[in-house]
Structure 1
Amino acid sequence: MKAKICGSLCLLSAAVLLSNAHAETPSDVLQAIPHTEELLNVVVVSRHGVRSPTQSAEKLHGWSDKKWSAWPVAPGLLTSRGFYLVKATWKLNRSRAPFTYGVCPKPEDVQIIADVDERTRKTAEALNEGLYPTCGYKVKVTSSEHSAIFSPLKAKVCRIDYPKELEEKLTQKVVGINEKFAAQMAEISKLTGHEFTGPMRAKVSKYKVGFKGAPYDCSSITEIFALEWGQNPEKKVAWDQLDWNGILHLMPIRVAVFSALNRDMEVARYKGSALANKIIESLDHGPKYTYLIGHDTNLANLGEIFDLNWKLPGRDQNENTPGGYLTFEKWSVNGQPEIRVFYSALSPEQIHAERVTQPTDDFEILPRGTKFDEWKTTYGRRLQSNCIADDKYENRK
């Protein structure tokens, strides 16, 4: 069942709505009012599955003289283990709302769109094989070098107007981060045998924004440990030194650094407006099911634009798990359109198990009763119109 976990805002809002309804409406009238619900549209935005580190061998050697774990694929590619985890997740979803479909939906009722990277394309294929194994749907991928939907800056749909000012603002945001996460940085220095010191600062150009410095390096190393956890079932990671509790102790520096960049509203509007617009359009008049396969940056950008926050058991606040996904559901409730949003991901135990036997943990972000039209109007105002464009696609199996 969906919505095992509900945020405090969700619970509070629902309680207020229910108490007000019962205060104003006699119980006999309530019982006489028919309640109807119909699922209209679903949009899933998923991060790709477990991949190999994107860093070069030289970069990894600069972080530690120890021999890093061997990966079966080139840097940044989806592993066969990553493919399996995604496929198994979506195979289990066949019997879970809102994805239950009985027979295959009509081809015009399903679109699966992936970013151009191999790891996103392969993840889309794994989702398709898991959820729709006999339906014959194809994954759409832009024929351009970069996707206008997933990466409008790389695709040069728009550009950062004042790079120097944004660079200074982002650098100021992370002043004191070394002190705040001194324990995590000391632990990573101990694990790697390399001392990480020095400040972090932003680096921004017209089409690119990022961080550099010791906290950023520690953030990236923590992400590698989390990827190793998914890649190597039932084994410790970080040179056989960490279990999940050890990774979870380090995760706050990863989330903090990642969020300081990708959950900055100015950055999110540049990088996320096109994808946010695609979600709104798909919910408004798209096919019944839309699947958009991108990156953790995409989910973080959407989190900032749409005010979405999540917390799953055994994971850090707003942690982006390989294969984790946001689900936007549009329902007709008593004839009125409503929006429901969830974040879902495999538990730390399931992503590390030899075989996936349990479905994702699910966090219900928005309270029931959120009006779709009001939601669309509120957040549509945040989008940066000059960064919104669509892609041309070629079909892939």
Structure 2
Amino acid sequence: MLHKAGALLRLFLCLSPYCLHVDDGEVAMRGWQRCLLACACVFGAWPVAAEVARVDDAPLALVVLSRHGVRAPTQHADTLAQWSARPWPAWTVGRGELSARGAALAETMGRAYGARLGLAACPQSDEISLYADVDERTRATAAALARGLSAACPPRVVSASGKLDALFHPVKAGVCALDAGKARTAMLAAAGGDLARYADRQAASLTLIQQALGPTPDALCASEGVRAPCALTRLPTRIVPRRADGHANIALAGGLALASDAAEVLMLDAVEWPEGQRAGAAALSRMLDAHVAAFALTQWTPYLAQRRGSALLARLAAELVRAGTPGSPRLSVLVGHDTNLANVGALLGARWQVADWPVRATPPAGALVFAVYRGEGGAREVRAEYWAQPLSGLLAGGNEVAPARARVTLNACPDGACALDTLLGAMRRAADPACVP
């Protein structure tokens, strides 16, 4: 107890000049007010400092849900030309495919996972499990992670046979039906009942995207039913039905949807060719607010998230059940898409912000990471983290961009760490068995 008191005193002496932050136009606190605020900072810092030291110990295992790395746009060149008359970069890979730089950056993520666990240069085959969706970009990302884990003997990557994996796409695969009416109602509720006002709140982000795209082509204005000249902020946002693989789906259309897709493409272009970027990390991050806002309706809405994310949540729970037990992998990685991360995040009530990315952003090759530890008494504990390479680092060039790690708060684990059994119970309650293949 005495050593904690001494540590608190030292923290007080170090932090008291820095705990108080006064914004422009505010009146500075003085005397006892400043002292009390400094004390509050100290006592708040103690458990955080202790936790950082605890978490820096090597975990028993990591269970990871990763997004694929940097890829070419999935949109056709004609679609991009409808968004902007300015020339778009010419990617050297096919639509939606992982780029060479994307692979190199993913290798760096693989090295970070290996270093976190203290894996040998040539890990045993049963120490690592890599499972990827069937798309080229997910399989290629998993292969890059494998090379990062061990260049000499990369672990095997497993994927499903066929063109569609129900684990990552249960609605498209027909495992789980989606009611378009319920989905629309849920999305409107998430928007506060008014899509126009919801989109208006992203006006600053849309304006930056518009500046990057240049004047909106007249053909796009006409297709959206708006007289030219028009801007993204004038294009009405709406919910539209969409059928994919013969199964009901739903999506956003209009200003916010176009801005969301454009912001993602602008970010990918900038990361792929950092030497030719026009906007810096701060501006790109602000543009991506539109992408996050659109995802809040299309992927984070509870009804949609449960239909689309229950299969992966159940798989993550199964991986966590065996994590840290004899004979189980020390690293288990599932490589999917940003939609998968958003769906699982919604089911868990997750919140994160990594480095200079927006809150709940899902950067290329970024991942939701569950680190499993042995707690007091032998019971397993888990800490949720989000790993991603900082946007500013990606824009600086080079491929050795170390990932930042941020705490993820969950409904079951409000401070990001809890007993593993607590998290597993929450996962089982959140998943809909009817949507699990």
Q: Same fold (TM over 0.5)?
A: yes
The structure with more helix, counted as a fraction of residues: 2
Partner of 2:336: 294
| Residues 1-397 of structure 1 aligned to structure 2 (within 5 Å) | 15=47, 39-95=59-115, 97=116, 99-160=117-178, 162-171=179-188, 173-174=190-191, 175=195, 176-192=197-213, 193-194=215-216, 195-196=231-232, 197-204=234-241, 206-236=247-277, 240=278, 242-285=279-322, 287-334=329-376, 335-366=378-409, 367=415, 370-389=418-437
Cα distance between partner residues in 2 of 1:43 and 1:94: 13
Partner of 1:4: none
8 Å Cα contact 1:342-1:362 kept in structure 2: yes
8 Å Cα contact 1:321-1:345 kept in structure 2: yes
Cα distance between partner residues in 1 of 2:171 and 2:281: 35
Cα distance between partner residues in 1 of 2:46 and 2:167: 34
8 Å Cα contact 2:59-2:372 kept in structure 1: yes
Instruction: Give the drift of 1:15.
Output: 4.0
CA offsets 1:286-333 (integer angstroms, 9 cap, x no match): 533211101111111111111221112222111111111111122221
Return the letter of the residue paired with 2:304. Answer: V
Cα distance between partner residues in 1 of 2:101 and 2:185: 40
CA offsets 1:199-229 (integer angstroms, 9 cap, x no match): 2222345442321111100111111111112
Instruction: Give the drift of 1:180.
Output: 1.0
Cα distance between partner residues in 2 of 1:315 and 1:232: 18
Return the letter of the residue paired with 1:122. Answer: A
Distance 1:185 1:353, change over 3 A: closer
CA offsets 1:236-268 (integer angstroms, 9 cap, x no match): 1xxx3x222221222211111112211111111
Distance 1:101 1:145, change over 3 A: same
Q: Per the alignment, in what secondary structure is the counterpart of residue 370 of structure 1?
A: strand
Instruction: Give the drift of 1:346.
Output: 0.7
Distance 1:80 1:307, change over 3 A: same
Q: Per the alignment, in what secondary structure is the counterpart of residue 221 of structure 1?
A: helix
Instruction: Give the drift of 1:87.
Output: 1.0
8 Å Cα contact 1:91-1:130 kept in structure 2: yes
The gaps in structure 1 that reach 5 residues or longer are 1-10, 19-36, 390-397
Return the letter of the residue paired with 1:170. Answer: M
Of the two, which has the highest radius of gyration? Answer: 2
- Provide the aligned C-alpha RMSD in A: 2.4
The gaps in structure 2 that reach 5 residues or longer are 1-42, 51-56, 217-230, 323-327, 410-414
Return the letter of the residue paired with 1:259. Answer: A
Instruction: Give the drift of 1:12.
Output: 6.5
Q: Per the alignment, in what secondary structure is the counterpart of residue 91 of structure 1?
A: helix
Cα distance between partner residues in 2 of 1:299 and 1:278: 13
Q: Per the alignment, in what secondary structure is the counterpart of residue 275 of structure 2?
A: coil
CA offsets 1:163-202 (integer angstroms, 9 cap, x no match): 1232243145432123212232233333321122232222
Instruction: Give the drift of 1:93.
Output: 4.1
CA offsets 1:30-69 (integer angstroms, 9 cap, x no match): xxxxxxx884432111111111111111211111122112
Return the letter of the residue paired with 2:91. Answer: W
